[in-house]
């Protein structure tokens, strides 16, 4: 019998990111970008004991992805998985040491063996303005979930990894007009909007179109900018763009927005 396979964003946005994935009885935490205390509160809200988190994966070393990881890993003795570059940057910002045996450098594929079968975590390099940045896909049986944030554009490798995933949390960071006319200085506008920055609502809409054509139905918009986006605007941009290709929400796809500071409703692949 297939067991629960789902993802629950605990927080999402430029202010902090953390996503819980439950698969075959495992609890995997992707990024820990709020304080340990707030992540623990969020985990408890969704009925998960923080000490039952089996592994923490860090996508890259920006603070909105790692700020709570140091304390969490020491407190709960949790294994942490990241690329060599991310691990190195993370260790330089840790306030105290944790057991070195908890640190795991990731290769392209990590396999966890459980009583119910394997859970695989695949990673793929993302074009983002820090070394060793990756996105993740989690596979259990023949189902898969993906977390795709913090990337300036979608590379062919990422597209091929994402093809046919059952559900995805995808970055919809900024509205182009809001970014251009907004409060950021010129350098920051160029960074966010550049090929190593973040995906705009429009970029996200185009990626969703390709994914719908590959069979994906469940989408959650995430990592929205607080200054350069509004959840309703992000949704409207995606829905309007897709309707131009004949795709209708509810009929052809499900769409949600991950909440900024609190847990969102789960994106469920297997109940
Ligand atoms: Zn980020
Ligand atoms: Zn980042």
Q: What are the structural domain ranges in the chain?
A: 5-270
Quick one: which H or E segment has residue 262?
Answer: none
Distance from Cα 135 to the centre of ligand 2, integer Å:
11
- What percentage of the chain has pLDDT greater than the value 90? 97
Mean pLDDT over residues 156-168, rounded? 98
pLDDT attached to residue 2: 63
What's the mean pLDDT when you consider all of the chain? 97
Query: Residue 12 CA: which ligand is closest?
Result: 1
**CA 188 to centroid of ligand 1, rounded, Å:** 14
- The 3-state secondary structure of the chain, one letter per residue: CCCCEEEEEEECCCCCCEEEEEECCEEEEECCCCCHHHHHHHHHHCCCCHHHCCEEECCCCCHHHHCCHHHHHHHHCCEEEECHHHHHHHHHHCCCCCCHHHEEECCCEEEEEECCEEEEEEEEECCCCCCCCEEEEEEECCEEEEEECCCCCCCHHHHHHHCCCCEEEEECCECHHHHHHCCCCHHHHHHHHCCCCCCEHHHHHHHHHHHHHCCCCEEEEECCCCCCCCHHHHHHHHHHHHHCCCCCECCCEEEEECCCCCCCCCEEEEC
Instruction: Give residue-wise pLDDT tens across range 180-214.
Output: 999 999 999 999 999 999 999 999 999 999 999 99
**Length of the chain measured in residues:** 271
- 64 Cα: distance to centroid of ligand 1 (angstroms): 5
Q: How far is the CA of 223 from the centre of ligand 1 (A)?
A: 7
pTM for the model stands at 0.97
Q: How remote is the CA of residue 62 from the centroid of ligand 2, in Å?
A: 5
Average of per-residue pLDDT across 120-128 = 98
Cα separation, 215 vs 71, whole angstroms: 40
In angstroms, what is the span from residue 115 Cα to ligand 1's centroid?
Answer: 34
33 contacts 63 by C-beta, under 8 angstroms: yes
For residue 64, pLDDT beyond 70: yes
CATH topology (fold) of 5-270 = Metallo-beta-lactamase; Chain A (3.60.15)
Task: Tell how far the Cα of 2 is from the centroid of ligand 1, in angstroms.
Answer: 33
Q: Span 13-33, mean pLDDT?
A: 97
What is the Å distance from ligand 1's center to 12 Cα?
9
Per-residue pLDDT at 1? 54
């Amino acid at each position: 019998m297939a067991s629960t396979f789902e993802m629950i964003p605990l927080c999402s946005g430029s202010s902090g990111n953390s996503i819980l994935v439950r698969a075959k009885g495992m609890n995997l935490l992707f990024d820990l970008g709020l304080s340990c205390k707030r992540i623990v509160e969020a985990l408890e809200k969704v009925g998960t004991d923080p000490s039952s988190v089996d592994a923490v994966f860090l996508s890259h070393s920006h603070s909105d992805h790692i700020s709570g990881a140091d304390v969490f890993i020491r407190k709960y003795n949790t294994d942490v998985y990241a690329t060599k570059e991310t691990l190195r940057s993370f260790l330089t910002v840790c306030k105290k040491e944790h057991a070195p045996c908890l640190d795991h450098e990731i290769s392209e594929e990590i396999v966890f063996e459980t009583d119910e079968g394997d859970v695989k975590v695949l990673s793929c390099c993302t074009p983002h303005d820090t070394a060793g940045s990756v996105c993740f896909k989690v596979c259990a049986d023949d189902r898969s979930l993906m977390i795709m944030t913090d990337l300036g554009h979608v590379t062919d490798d990422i597209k091929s990894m994402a093809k046919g995933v059952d559900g995805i949390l995808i970055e919809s960071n900024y509205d182009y007009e809001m970014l251009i006319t907004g409060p950021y200085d010129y350098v920051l506008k160029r960074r966010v909007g550049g090929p190593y920055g973040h995906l705009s609502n429009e970029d996200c809409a185009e990626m969703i179109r390709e994914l719908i054509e590959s069979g994906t139905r469940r989408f959650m918009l995430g990592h929205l900018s607080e200054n350069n986006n509004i959840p309703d605007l992000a949704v409207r941009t995606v829905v309007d763009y897709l309707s131009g290709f004949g795709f209708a929400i509810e009929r052809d796809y499900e769409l949600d927005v991950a909440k900024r500071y609190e847990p969102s409703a789960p994106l469920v692949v297997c109940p």
